[in-house]
Structure 1
Amino acid sequence: MKGYYIYCAFSMMLALYVYDNHSAVSLFLLIVLFIFQWLQCPRKVVIASALLSVLCVYLLAEANNHNKTVLLAESSTFTGEISSVPHSDGDKLTFKFTVQNEEVMAFYKLKTLEEKQQLEKLTIHQVCQLAGQLTSPSSARNLHAFDYQQYLYHQSIHWQLNVKRLDLAKCQLPTLTPLTYLTFIRQKGINYIQQNMSDPGAGFMQALIYGERTGIEEESIKRYQQFGLIHLLAISGLHVGLLTAMCFYLLIRIGITRERAITLLLLLLPVYMVLAGGSASVVRAVFMSMVMLISIKIQRKILLVDSISLAFMSMLLFKPYYLFDVGFQLSFAVSFALILSSQTILPRFHSSFSQLMAVSAIAQVSSLPLLLYYFYGVSLLSLPLNMVFVPLFSLVVLPLCLLILFVRIILPGVSELLEQILHVLLLACEKLLDFFEWIPADFVTGKPHILLFLGMYLCIYALFVAVEEGKFFVRYMFLLAALLAAQCMYPYLNPKGTVTMVDVGQGDCFIIELPYRKGVYMIDTGGTVSFPKEPWQKRRSSFDVGEDVLVPFLHSKGMTKVDKMIITHGDYDHAGAAQHLFSQVAVGELVLGKKAELNDVETGLVIAAQKQSVPVQIVQQGDSWQEGGVLFQVISPTGFEETSNNGSIVIDAKLGNLRWLFTGDLEKEGEQRILKDFPNLKADVLKVGHHGSKTSTSEEFVQHLNPKVALVSAGQKNRYGHPHQEILELLKSYGVYIYRTDEDGGVMYEFTKSQERFRSNFHSL
């Protein structure tokens, strides 16, 4: 079956997607692939593809059947084994914990610096007794948001364990097996680097040698991700290939025969796979290296495309859930593209520089659809920066990291000089990325439809074939550009408008997109309240509503500009994320309500807006604007309100066939004034004031407005008890249907001239 394994691999992949997603598109492609194999391939290839596809689907079905929890939510004490390297980040300790042969994700909030120093002595495989509470992992609460629950499910994890008590004295290390001993050694190596080296070198060494990125500052991770360089911080085929070549050279130099050197490498590569963390890219690279070494040893040539196809199939047969791992998909997409072009396209480029350009271009183009699908955009600087950073990391930084670790054990004094060189190199990289960060090179498209996604890959395939044959490849470049342009232009041709109540936790945020994208308006931004912490408590990565919720949501819809950012009032849970958004998306105008004096949050926003040359508009009762046939009327504030909540901007607008009333944190006194000033005011959809607290939404207000739908934005299990039961019962007594973010997640209203519907991220409404 030489050269045909790739068809088996693709058949298995499509069969898994058909079974898991019930995808009609995948089924159609699978049928087309089998017809092609029937016409063009030997019968044994068709039979092998069919049998392997059925086997893979069976294994996935079995994995799903056994992927069930045996733990009870009521349990409070747990005896089990720490099954991952414990990681401390500020005052948070995280590790996987195996109880009754089932893994849970454990979190513990460290109370003191002394306790942190003690618990940093925890090691993988220690058997401990914990006290805590099991909770279900959070699923995606907004459109296109990261689904943490699904991510853990594919690791057979069903619970988070919020640890209340953890006593190091009660933890014991059992007798280790060879495999568990290797993972124990891995943690020792990670800890050795952390304790004996300074940042940023320590974090990068942990990532490049042991596949552990948690030691790198969150800002650095995001910067490398922004420029499409994050693959450099993961152990990949290039890393494994370099290490294998270096070890082979050293073994030959010390007098070991070629055959024995290959045998030693075949024994050492699985060991390194465990030491490097065993991620999908590491497993793929090690498997391929072993296949190629075996082919040399038995003197039987194995095609590279067969090698990677066998790796792909073996990994899916071992663990079908690999297919749903983004790293797995990107790793194989790029590797397949580079291997398939290595004998046809790359030889057309003769100089080292032109080959480097070609390799970088092939890697970028082959990963483009996946990057757009999962991350909604790419940096236009990614290609030139990869041309600089790939050889720098491969030929300088990685060997230097290995040399430092080796020399530190023998000649600590010499290693300090090498560490300084590494430190300077990494700082130079950071400065270079800081410089390019100011260049507006982010290309945001939004999440492409699956048909457009497949169309891009078909176009890329045709492009590579045309380049290989030296034909008119420019037409396919234009076709790919046309597909990207279609993705970017679609919102401006789409007659559908949306109003989204974004789940920002305990806060408010509404995003209005008018039909044909005539306007994008954001009413409030939510905000993450932070409290002063001691230096040891500060975390490398902390949750931010703007960065972690709003920017991904906007980018998933291809939005890079908010025409109006309307801050109803200056409470942090309504305005806290606004400043971060100024640096991430273009803001056409900042809108604040009229008041006697701006508070600190609002003053900070005005200053931030001025720095970004964003005009600031102060509105009051009677102001209005019209866009896309929709009239937005400001019916509050007057500017003389006594409290911040009653000074909220209140907006009345007809969107679709429904009249909406956005109320901010308006309380009962403000409601009474509005009813007095606007006696004919009605609303089909009422945004319930102040998250559903008892101070808002009077019976008189509800009776007068006569809404059909009420929207409540409140955090899950918030400490204020929002929304209050009394308010919910009042709304229900008037036949109002209630949508609430704490139960429904983000809620979206979609409308055209003739159709409309509500839907949440959890179910259609």
Structure 2
Amino acid sequence: MEGRGTQQKFHGEGLRNTGRRMQLVSRHLRRDFVFLPSSVRKAPLFWWFLFFLMGMASVPAPRIGILFLSIIAFGFYLQEKKSAIGLILMMCVCAGLGWIRLEMRQTDRIPAFRGARQWTGPIRKFLGTIQSSGITRTGRYRLEVLWLEPDTFLHGRTRWHVYVYPDTNLQAIPGDTLQLTWCRFSPLAPPRNPGQFDFRSYAHNHGIIGVLSLTDSTALTLRRHTGLTAMGCAWQVRRWVHRQLNRYVPERESGFLEAVLLGEKSDLDDELQTAFRRIGVIHVLAVSGLHVGYILIIILLLTKLLRIPWGWDRLAIVLALAGYCVVTGLRSSVIRAAGMAALYLCGPLVNRRPNPYNILGAVGLTMILVEPLSVYDMGFQLSFAAVFSILVYVTYLEPQIPDRWRIRRIHSPIVRGFLELMVISTMAQLGTLPLLLPRTHQIPLLSMVANGLIVPLVGVIVSLGFLYLVVSFVPLIQAVIANSLWLCIRLVETTARYLSAPAFATARVSGDGIDVILIVYGSVFLSLYCLNRRPFRYFLLGACLCWSLLVWHRASLRNELEAVFLDVGQGDAALIRLPDRKTMVIDTGPRTYYRDSGRDVLLPALVALGVREIQWLVLTHAHADHIGGTLSVLKQIPVDTLVIPMQWGNTALIRHIRRCADSLHVAVDTIRGPKSILHRDYLIQFLWPLREAAELNQNNRNIVCTVRTSGGSLLFTGDLEQDGERALLQRWDTVPTTVLKVGHHGSDTGTTGPFLEALSPKLAVISVGKGNKFGHPSPEVIQRLHDHQVTIHRTDRRQALWLRFHQSNWDSVTWR
């Protein structure tokens, strides 16, 4: 009994000591890791908005939403231990309401989306109201559906929209009614390759279900709307601005002006957009807080000049900002910026000191309550993330910086303004980094310098642009301002192209970029601790935490062979990610006037897989449907070796490829016989062409290669036909393979029975274009594959195929 009592005594003391240690740790954490500044603690609307977002995030990704909610709940427990239960309960209620709001919005749309995807018949009668129309070269109209016959898939209370591309010069404005008879409805297509923009999801989030195409028997009737509508007036303003800008400003510069004034980028140069993206200033082309700020300054000056009484001037400003939102198309970033500006200016009217976090939360909460699907809008996400990161810097990070390191101690106003602009733009980049990095897979290294140079110039351009529109009744002054605008825009373009030219302007990031995000964020917060001379143990704790997360992320990456057969239409293109993270690309697809497979298909897929360099670029033969995208690939991503067959040819495209490879110092390896690349995890063999193939045609002397690993093997045959297959089998008795890339797009000139018997494939991939004029694939080839019990994957029907080979087996990857 005495021993048991002594044991219980020691056990009780141990529990009490453990409790004291936990209280001590909690006290230290609350003292040293105070992450809730007073401006945040006094902003309930911000927290409601955040909890609503977490609840909505739990709909598509429950694990992520629950993880963030758990982290916030733990933070509440550390910060407000006494009232933690109430705060956590409020968090759960708001998150649940957000989940319910988004789920209800999506549930009403699902039946119509499913029905629209299955509908393939003609539309006997369509009646719709025009909601938006292009004033530039797009020529696209967005219509709200009023009546659709047959009404087979439109259900629910949601307002549905469609796109119409009329061939005729249709002079219609928003508010007009358009009637079509005997037109064809086409549902929006999903992305056909990894890395491509999912336009269908984007359109569905905006209530757009498909496209109406006109046929020869389509009758089109336009009914004018006689009254005034907000969207109609906004369209008239946009058209007036478009005409005024094209009056004295050259076409190239007027496209830039429309982008920064109205957010209309259809007439903007594609190369300039790429340069802006590389240096991290693409945000100046999206109308947001920067542009609203300049407009607000102009409106404030006008109210002072007109001597509008205090209070009424706030009403005038709010109405002007609302009008600007409508004119720019009610974009999420403009609504956010205009709403925050309006609330900030109206705060003194009710004797309240504006809280920036409360204002941000009020605007965000209103937007997601009105339209919950706006959380899927990239503009909404980037806008709120950038503003939140700037507020965190102003209210929390900047006070942590020692006084001697602060920018406000600099006496020169020009240097101080330049540095403040660089810091603010950098904080915006850090806030949007987790959103952009998984999509772009690159970090603009010159972002700070570019923003410091270009943003002030854009401010001058915006101010001059509005002044140009105001003085439109004085042609002489308008012409002078147009020359100034031309000079400023050319200066911006020259600066952007100069800064984006070096290879070090951006850093490519492989994978999802989680390791880079951890390193960047960890470096920022650890630097603040070092500047404040906090105890070294906190620095060591943070470094160990970041390092452990980085190691865990790296250890979770799979070193397995991955093969992606891309859908490039009537052509071939495939990429292979080897276990040692090296990359082989086999053919690059066709290139036409409308589409470059290298630029539009292959490069996005390489970026999605995190490829920084191509070790082997294999061009099986010189036909344009196999090598059309090569120039784009060579120019955009480093290539180590270009592999070509013997007797490759001397066409204009081949000469261009050779010159480009020589200028970039790419090694050229010509295959004239068997060649192997051996690694402990894989084997690459070039089986064909041999020297005896010189007398065969170009299809039969193309490169045939196989890639083998422990989980299976792949055979790429290019456009090999019967003669080439017969000669290949004479040289190699059997070529057992798991996955066969069917030769010549499934033409009846190849893929013979003896060839299939020698290979014994389990899966056959046919790279073919939908509705091609050659009739590929041949029914005879399909029947042969069925007779040999081979599973068939056609890119024209099932899009791209992503395979992953494990140690003993293989499977397909769901990439959509």
Fold conserved (TM > 0.5)? Answer: yes
- Paired position in structure 2 for 1:102: 160
Once the two structures are superposed, residues 191-235 of structure 1 have per-residue CA deviations (whole angstroms, 9 ceiling, x without a partner) of 424642422221122222222121212222222122211110111
1:13 paired residue among 38, 41, 53: 53
After superposition, where does 1:70-109 map in structure 2 within 5 Å? Answer: 73-76=120-123, 77-86=125-134, 89=137, 93-100=139-146, 101-108=159-166
Change (3 A) 1:647 1:564: same
1:188 CA drift (Å)? 2.3
Give the CA RMSD over aligned residues. Answer: 3.0
1:603 CA drift (Å)? 2.5
Residue type of the alignment partner of 2:63: A
Aligned partners of 2:366 and 2:45: how far apart in 1?
11
- Paired position in structure 1 for 2:768: 714
Residue type of the alignment partner of 1:511: L
The answer to whether structure 1 residue 581 and structure 2 residue 628 are counterparts is no
After superposition, where does 1:173-322 map in structure 2 within 5 Å? Answer: 173-193=224-244, 195-196=246-247, 197-322=249-374
Aligned partners of 1:751 and 1:730: how far apart in 2?
26
1:88 CA drift (Å)? 5.3
Contact 2:136 2:267 (C-alpha < 8 Å) held by counterparts = no
2:791 paired residue among 727, 737, 749: 737
Aligned partners of 1:589 and 1:487: how far apart in 2?
34
- Paired position in structure 2 for 1:725: 779
Contact 1:744 1:760 (C-alpha < 8 Å) held by counterparts = no
2:464 paired residue among 387, 397, 400: 400
- Paired position in structure 1 for 2:510: 446
Aligned partners of 1:175 and 1:166: how far apart in 2?
29
The more displaced of 33-42 and 94-103 is: 33-42
Once the two structures are superposed, residues 506-533 of structure 1 have per-residue CA deviations (whole angstroms, 9 ceiling, x without a partner) of 221111111121x211010112222xxx
Change (3 A) 1:712 1:702: same
Aligned partners of 2:596 and 2:320: how far apart in 1?
43
* Partner SS, residue 720 of structure 2: coil
Aligned partners of 2:590 and 2:500: how far apart in 1?
25
1:388 paired residue among 453, 457, 472: 453
1:521 paired residue among 584, 589, 601: 584
Contact 1:498 1:512 (C-alpha < 8 Å) held by counterparts = yes
Residue type of the alignment partner of 2:612: T
- Paired position in structure 2 for 1:539: none
Once the two structures are superposed, residues 154-202 of structure 1 have per-residue CA deviations (whole angstroms, 9 ceiling, x without a partner) of 1111212223369998323213444233333344235424642422221
Contact 2:712 2:805 (C-alpha < 8 Å) held by counterparts = no
The more displaced of 311-320 and 26-35 is: 26-35
Change (3 A) 1:61 1:205: same
Change (3 A) 1:94 1:484: farther
The answer to whether structure 1 residue 151 and structure 2 residue 202 are counterparts is yes
- Paired position in structure 2 for 1:54: 96
Of all paired residues, the percent bearing the same amino acid is: 25
Change (3 A) 1:169 1:752: closer
Aligned partners of 2:68 and 2:549: how far apart in 1?
22
- Paired position in structure 2 for 1:667: 721
Contact 1:132 1:162 (C-alpha < 8 Å) held by counterparts = yes
* Partner SS, residue 132 of structure 2: coil
Aligned partners of 2:388 and 2:540: how far apart in 1?
23
1:699 paired residue among 730, 747, 753: 753
Aligned partners of 1:583 and 1:480: how far apart in 2?
40
1:380 CA drift (Å)? 0.8
Aligned partners of 2:262 and 2:200: how far apart in 1?
26
Aligned partners of 1:87 and 1:561: how far apart in 2?
41
Contact 2:457 2:492 (C-alpha < 8 Å) held by counterparts = no
Contact 1:129 1:170 (C-alpha < 8 Å) held by counterparts = yes
- Paired position in structure 2 for 1:24: 63
Aligned partners of 1:659 and 1:14: how far apart in 2?
44
Contact 1:448 1:487 (C-alpha < 8 Å) held by counterparts = no
- Paired position in structure 2 for 1:509: 573
1:478 CA drift (Å)? 7.3
Change (3 A) 1:756 1:461: same
Aligned partners of 1:582 and 1:743: how far apart in 2?
30
Once the two structures are superposed, residues 423-456 of structure 1 have per-residue CA deviations (whole angstroms, 9 ceiling, x without a partner) of 122222222222233311221113427x758857
1:379 paired residue among 412, 427, 444: 444
- Paired position in structure 1 for 2:598: 546
Residue type of the alignment partner of 2:263: G
* Partner SS, residue 133 of structure 2: coil
Aligned partners of 1:544 and 1:476: how far apart in 2?
50
Residue type of the alignment partner of 2:333: S
Residue type of the alignment partner of 1:95: Y
* Partner SS, residue 171 of structure 1: strand
1:345 CA drift (Å)? 4.0
Contact 2:294 2:462 (C-alpha < 8 Å) held by counterparts = no
After superposition, where does 1:338-353 map in structure 2 within 5 Å? Answer: 338-346=390-398, 348-350=406-408, 351-353=416-418
Change (3 A) 1:157 1:582: same
Aligned partners of 1:193 and 1:425: how far apart in 2?
18
Contact 1:660 1:684 (C-alpha < 8 Å) held by counterparts = yes
The more displaced of 183-192 and 167-176 is: 167-176
Aligned partners of 2:705 and 2:786: how far apart in 1?
24
The more displaced of 356-365 and 459-468 is: 459-468
Contact 1:344 1:468 (C-alpha < 8 Å) held by counterparts = no
Aligned partners of 1:427 and 1:478: how far apart in 2?
46
Can you give the 5+ residue segments of structure 1 that lack an aligned partner in the other structure? Answer: 531-541
Aligned partners of 2:530 and 2:360: how far apart in 1?
22
Contact 1:501 1:746 (C-alpha < 8 Å) held by counterparts = yes
1:730 CA drift (Å)? 1.4
1:18 CA drift (Å)? 0.9
Aligned partners of 2:231 and 2:132: how far apart in 1?
11
Q: How many matched pairs? A: 735
Contact 1:88 1:94 (C-alpha < 8 Å) held by counterparts = no
Contact 1:378 1:444 (C-alpha < 8 Å) held by counterparts = yes
The more displaced of 658-667 and 718-727 is: 718-727
Contact 1:515 1:628 (C-alpha < 8 Å) held by counterparts = no
Change (3 A) 1:761 1:596: closer
1:283 CA drift (Å)? 0.8
The answer to whether structure 1 residue 435 and structure 2 residue 489 are counterparts is no
Contact 1:83 1:98 (C-alpha < 8 Å) held by counterparts = yes
Larger Rg: 2
- Paired position in structure 2 for 1:426: 489
Contact 2:753 2:784 (C-alpha < 8 Å) held by counterparts = yes
